[in-house]
Structure 1
């Protein structure tokens, strides 16, 4: 009974804005800072200033609402806690499964067969609340599942895709290596043909979902042909070891891992038959780069929504922050960025749907959108002042989460060079000095 009374007294102290001197517990943010609503109660959407919702089909608008509702209800209340702990909230996965969006554009095998615009809108709505969850989906759906759908055998599709679509099993996609990030085509992991299958040796790094993935889509160099091949590995296979990468400052909910493969045997039935060179991975990367471009769009939407509410709630000098001219200008600049980012992303989807999208189109979209998102989030950080460094108000978390997004699926510079190669006809990936040294 005394414990209950003590708890009630502490709760009463909190309600009065005080705190028991002996408790040692932090105040709830709504008590510690009553002037603004934290992101655990997510702000209403206010970023569609040019009414781009009119550009979407009824199905795409329905997807947007469905994803938004689940993310705001299930993820917003817990995201700051799990971001701080750098842990993944597995208990939310069944709720995400009810959205039926895993597999995106894949038709059949229990996948939703969405338009690429519908899949992009779903990605943005996830990222609007939490960028880590959008990365989880991107890796699982737009990389691993899509690779099996585009490059796998019919037997592989029937075996793996239905459970992946229901999130009953989770997948990761392993291309990047410790020595090869931007220069991914030079990977060193090897696949050697043996009786009945292949033996994989090598390392992968920065692989999202890998610490808990049931299925690992891995790329390795065929020791006979020297070409890149793809394989499906199972969790727990002898010789396969995955360790979590610690101490990240961004996308902390995402579980990135280092993968070590020592004489890992993969049966012939788990080699992806349509991955016979690095160029074959571009079938997947073309779609995933579109999806990655929609991550910063969604992230910027969420930051604008939070800042829009915050500035109207927070008062200084006897007036809401929204009343000051400098703040209004920054807020409008953020809004303009979101309109432009959305329009570029939408056009990218339409180019893909019409079969006109090129690698340069996709790379420019990802590079430019992530650059504009960086500016948008930085402005939001300024607008929130001291609270701009607190995860409770979204902007600090989004500020950090955007940094790895700015880098992965091609850094800003690499994507710029892909587009530049397309418009000039000149590839500039290897510096001239390196070329001369290689001839010495």
Structure 2
């Protein structure tokens, strides 16, 4: 049996490989992979953006220029910074202003095409999946819901701060005992008493729930049993949020367990166009598909990391990239990634036409996240022992891909939605 004898020392940025126990010659060889990785310049590589099929060329010229600028910022600024935050499970408040400067807080409001919006989610995920969750939920479920389902007063109050990340919202739907069956099983209640809504219940896995300025809470009106959407400011008495810790992925995202204990909000905090669950379904359809952009992005991220490592790592006197099986792995990762991106490009076209429905959203979400698991597993294997530490990034992606597979509708539930659409027979229970 071959034992793994790599030793590590802890630094301010996490774990770093220790070589003090090695001879000078072995120390030079062991340290060289990190040194060589720092000298790999993606711009000097063939197809630096790995867009083998030229899919980014589908963007109009103006959006293509903006896309290139945002991609450069994300790779230069966000990708290297994210590892430390991910390791510490901390939220990068100091990066929000820069994300806003590049328009990532107002993608639902600035007239961007569906394709451009999707490619923004894709590129953020390529740099860091946790922040892509923030950007996607912020745009699709928070800004999108207030803009489309809110009152004029609600739009005036919240959209200016949201579009530049000065304020954050949380989307509070999932409950401790209800996930896939939330539409029928939702237990949180809302009761109108003396001109105020009184909210009681609990929510779980709520992104940004501990740091948001308000939560969009879905609760069942006790009067008519309809599920409705409410703006609940997080500083109101009775709102309690605790961080869910020790996650294996999306560690930057501050997921919360929320307790709502007789939280009183003004009657006007009801979103006027969110008076039944059907109002949420269209937004949930688009947010489900948005995870497909994340899944495509994480696969291109795995390819980026794997290619850089294969060129920098020397084994048997030559770079890993010169071994046939390594090139096979890179080709398979890129094939999965490109297939996933192509699927999302078609879905964006259907969104523009108004023909996208839940079965299509379910299929792209299920398929791309299934492929992402395969791609990051191949990437982790490509890095060998170094693939199990987040210092080399791939382990971070490995954990994040597992979250994509299950959140915003599990793989199994989405597959059953597709199955029902193509057979006409439901098989959920």
Determine if the TM-score, normalized by the shorter chain, exceeds 0.5: yes
**Residue in 2 aligned with 1:13?**
none
TM-score when scaled to structure 2?
0.89
Whole-Å separation in 1 of the counterparts to 2:199 and 2:140: 24
* Map of 1:96 onto structure 2: 99
Matching residue within 78, 81, 85 for 1:78: 81
Q: Is the 8 A contact 1:150 1:284 kept in 2?
A: no
Tell me what 1:414 maps to: 413
- 1:69: how far off? 2.1
Contact 1:117 1:350 in 2 (8 A): yes
Residue in 2 that maps onto 1:340: 339
Q: Does structure 2 conserve the Cα–Cα contact (< 8 Å) formed by 1:35 and 1:314?
A: no
Deviation at 1:86, TM superposition (A): 0.6
2:135 equivalent to 1:122: no
Name 2:62's counterpart in structure 1: 59
Q: Structure 2 matches for 1:256-335, cutoff 5 A?
A: 256-335=255-334
2:33/2:314 contact within 8 Å kept: no
Q: Secondary structure at the match of 1:276?
A: coil
Aligned residue pairs total 401
Whole-Å Cα distance in 1 between the matches of residues 411 and 41 of structure 2?
30
After superposition, what is the alpha-carbon deviation per residue over 1:299-346, rounded to whole angstroms, capped at 9, x for unaligned?
111110111121112111111111111111111111111111111000
Output the CA distance in 1 between the equivalents of 2:420 and 2:286: 20
Matching residue of 1:34:
34
Partner SS for 2:232: strand
SS in 2 for 1:193: strand
Superposition misfits of 4+ residues, deviation over 4 angstroms:
17-20, 30-33, 41-44
Paired residue for 1:87? Answer: 90
Question: What is the DSSP-based 3-state SS (H/G/I as helix, E as strand, rest coil) of the residue aligned with 2:262?
Answer: strand
The two structures have a TM-score, normalised by structure 1, of 0.87
SS at structure 2 position matched to 1:362: helix
Distance 2:106 2:412 in 1: 29
Please give the alpha-carbon distance, in whole angstroms, between the structure 2 residues aligned to 1:221 and 1:42. Answer: 54
Shift of 1:216: 0.8
In structure 1, C-alpha distance between the alignment counterparts of 2:50 and 2:177, rounded to whole Å: 41
Q: Which runs of 5+ in 1 are unaligned?
A: 1-16, 21-26, 107-111, 431-440
**Structure 1 residue 36: deviation in Å?**
4.1
Structure 1 Cα separation of the partners of residues 36 and 203 of structure 2: 43
Q: 1:178 aligns with which of 176, 179, 188?
A: 176
Of 321-330 and 71-80, more deviation after overlay is shown by 71-80
